Amino acid sequence: MALQTRALSVSVNRFVNSISKWSSWNPSQLPSTLRYSSSQLTKNTDNGADDDDGKKEHNVKLKSSNKTKRARSMSHIINNKPWSNDLESSLSSLSPSLSKTTVLQTLHLIRTPAKALHFFKWTQDNGFTHDDQSYFMMLEILGRSRNLNAARNFLFSIEKRSGGAVRLEDRFFNSLIRSYGRAGLFQESIKVLMRMKLIGVSPSVVTFNSLLPILLKRGRTNMAKKVYDEMLTTYGVTPDTYTFNILIRGFCMNSMVDEGFHFFKEMSRFGCDPDIVTYNTLVDGLCRAGKVRIAHNLLKGMLKKSLDLNPNVVTYTTLIRGYCMKQDIAEALVVFEEMVCRGLKPNRITYNTIIQGLCEAQKLDKIKEILDGTLMGGGFIP
């Protein structure tokens, strides 16, 4: 028996070492976990998200057509030669007339923002009429490459460039807000919001969903609360589920889980239903704060709330990790067994979390039982 115990101990140590890269797991590393975006975001650009306004314009699908071939030829010349009169002549010979598809695809394929702007101006000088889509795409190109002064100047020149045909609307400003946010310039993002107010462009929920994560990521929790209050009172904008997911995650990540819970309770006031992202975010925040029992009760409440809303592998794994951190292995095992009984398949991170906790508690027999179960189930091989 002693030999078997020693052999098992050696096997467990080898197993843990082989997957030690997972030992520092936190739920934000999971592919489907506590990102504060909701599934709604990918379906509707109006729900706000980092860069979602630009998906349609920035990711132009390159179909097999003459227009696509022409765009590839034009972008190849632009990418490989300095901008000059000769280059412009070459472009003119390739495409005597310009279609919207060709212009958008060429912009998408040009690698240098400065050349993209040259091309944008050249097409306009050659009779092409840009619309809101091409203006937005050009703004996104400049912002993504952190040519922020150029992006700002371009935004405020849109109405003049277009002869008033393209009006400034919130999504242009949302793009610039996100660009400043990616660069860590949260104060500039605030200035953009203030500028919107000055020139009479009404911010939307997307605007605030773009601004709030920038502030919270920088730890500016008081400023985020102020912006949220202004959103409701000054601008009369109604938050959505995505807004609350941002706030809950942001305050939890800033070790202010009580504030996160406050926003969770606030959701019902605006008719916003929590989704799985909301619950996973709050469960993680509570566990990190050592409030594992409350997190467990939240999970139970989710089960009672709706038949369509069920905890997933992320929810259970987060809770297991919380109990293991509290060295309450018995409860961790209860959660693990509940997860399996509900038909959810533990993944590598789940197994690593529970086995790590069992190792620290010296529960070698239970480790063997779990390892045997993984091999018999065939779903996970250590």
C-alpha–C-alpha distance, residues 317 and 322, integer Å: 9
With contact defined as beta carbons under 8 Å apart, do 286 and 266 qualify?
Answer: no
Are residues 325 and 309 located together in one domain of the fold? Answer: yes
Whether 269 is in a domain gets the answer no
Residue 90 and residue 127 in one domain? yes
Alpha carbons 106 and 108: distance in angstroms, whole number: 5
Q: Is residue 70 part of a domain?
A: yes
- Do 141 and 200 lie in one domain? The reply is no
Other C-beta atoms within 10 Å of 120: how many? 24
pLDDT reported for residue 13? 53
How many whole angstroms separate alpha carbon 36 and alpha carbon 275?
Answer: 11
Helix axes 132-144, 148-155, angle to 10 degrees: 160
Does 344 lie in the same domain as 280? yes
Q: Which of 324, 328, 297 is nearest to 311 (CA)?
A: 297
- Alpha-carbon distances of 27 from 33, 249, 257, 264, rounded to whole Å: 6, 12, 16, 19
**Each residue's pLDDT expressed in tens, for the chain with a length of 382 residues:** 444 445 545 454 554 454 444 444 444 444 333 344 333 333 343 444 455 555 555 554 544 467 788 899 999 999 999 999 999 999 998 877 889 999 999 999 999 999 999 999 999 999 999 999 999 999 999 999 999 999 999 999 999 999 999 999 999 999 999 999 999 999 999 999 999 999 999 999 999 999 999 999 999 999 999 999 999 999 999 999 999 999 999 999 999 999 999 999 999 999 999 999 999 999 999 999 999 999 999 998 888 877 788 999 999 999 999 999 999 999 999 999 999 999 999 889 998 999 888 888 887 777 877 777 664 454 555 5
Residue 21 confidence (pLDDT): 43
Of the candidates 97, 107, 44, the residue with the CA atom closest to the CA atom of residue 71: 107
What pLDDT is recorded for position 366?
A: 79
Are residues 31 and 47 part of one domain?
A: no
pLDDT for the residue numbered 37: 39
Let me know whether 55 and 110 are in one domain.
yes
Alpha helices by DSSP H, listed for 81-131, are 85-94, 100-109, 113-125
User: Could you tell me if residue 210 is inside a domain?
Assistant: yes
Structure tokens, 64: 């097999």
Query: Is the residue at 247 inside a domain?
Result: no
For residues 236 and 202, give the distance between their C-alpha atoms in angstroms, rounded to a whole number.
10
Instruction: Supply the pLDDT for residue 382.
Output: 54
pLDDT of 97 reads 83
| CA gap 330, 361 in Å, rounded | 10
Which pLDDT score, from 0 to 100, does residue 66 have?
72
73: containing domain: 43-167
pLDDT of residue 28: 42
The residue whose two tokens read 């197994």 is: 351
Q: How far is 191 from 56, CA to CA, in rounded Å? A: 27
CB 286 within 8 A of CB 295: yes
Report the Cα 202 to chain-centroid distance in Å: 24
How many angstroms separate the Cα of 342 from the Cα of each of 313, 336, 345?
10, 10, 9
Last residue of a domain, one of 129, 145, 167: 167
In a domain, 293, yes or no: yes
The residue type at 192: V
Do 119 and 217 fall into the same domain? no
In a domain, 367, yes or no: yes
C-alpha pair distances (Å), 166 with each of 68, 121, 196: 26, 16, 16
Q: Which residues touch 257 (CB under 8 Å, ≥6 apart)? A: 251, 282, 285, 286, 288, 289, 291
Residue 284 maps to a domain = yes
Beta strands in 106-236 (DSSP E): none
